[in-house]
């Protein structure tokens, strides 16, 4: 890679492009999430539970790329709001299972506006956005060492 002064321009920094784009998407999502009384990380927890209504804290941490120090207080707030239940595993008490409640499940339909807002704002096709997402996920797996075999 060429390391001349051209590479020092902010617009040429790939990480800045991802960062700025992520912030723009979160700004776009904020009014919808505020209406649902959810933070973005809470929304992501619910998305994973809408796919599979029970997961362990470990699974959620791996899927969402969050450590337990971040995830545990987040889940406690969600439980207090009645969106999830935390239950110790009956076989292994060290494992905490997270179950979506009926109230959490009911938010799924209301939350459909969140990803739709991105499609509407970009003017891009689902295929285009899917291709970008696939590329970014491939990059994430490489950076996490999952692409090396």
Predicted local confidence at residue 9, as pLDDT = 87
For the ranges 6-10, 54-58, 62-66, the lowest mean pLDDT is seen at: 6-10
d(CA 93, CA 89): 5
pLDDT digits (tens, 9 = 90+) for 33-53: 999 999 999 999 999 999 999
Q: What is the mean pLDDT of residues 18-44?
A: 96
d(CA 73, CA 67): 11
Helices (H), 37-99: 40-51, 57-64, 68-80
Structure tokens at 54: 């029970």
Q: Give pTM, 2 decimals.
A: 0.87
Predicted local confidence at residue 82, as pLDDT = 98
Work out the mean pLDDT of the chain and round it to a whole number.
92
Domain coordinates in residue numbering, the chain: 40-106
According to CATH, the topology of domain 40-106 is Arc Repressor Mutant, subunit A (1.10.10)
């Amino acid at each position: 890679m060429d390391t001349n002064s051209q590479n020092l321009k902010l617009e040429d920094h790939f990480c800045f492009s991802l960062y700025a784009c992520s912030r723009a998407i979160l700004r776009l999502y904020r009014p919808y999430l505020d209406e649902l009384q959810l933070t973005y990380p809470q929304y992501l927890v619910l998305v994973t539970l809408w796919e599979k209504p029970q997961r362990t804290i470990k699974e959620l941490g791996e899927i969402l790329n969050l450590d337990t120090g971040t995830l545990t207080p987040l889940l406690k707030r969600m439980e207090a709001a009645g969106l999830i239940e935390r239950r110790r595993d009956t076989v292994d008490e060290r494992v905490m299972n997270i179950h979506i409640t009926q109230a959490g499940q009911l938010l799924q339909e209301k939350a459909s506006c969140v990803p739709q807002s991105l499609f509407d704002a970009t003017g891009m096709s689902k295929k285009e956005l899917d291709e970008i997402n696939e590329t970014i996920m491939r990059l994430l797996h490489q950076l996490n060492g999952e692409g090396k075999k």
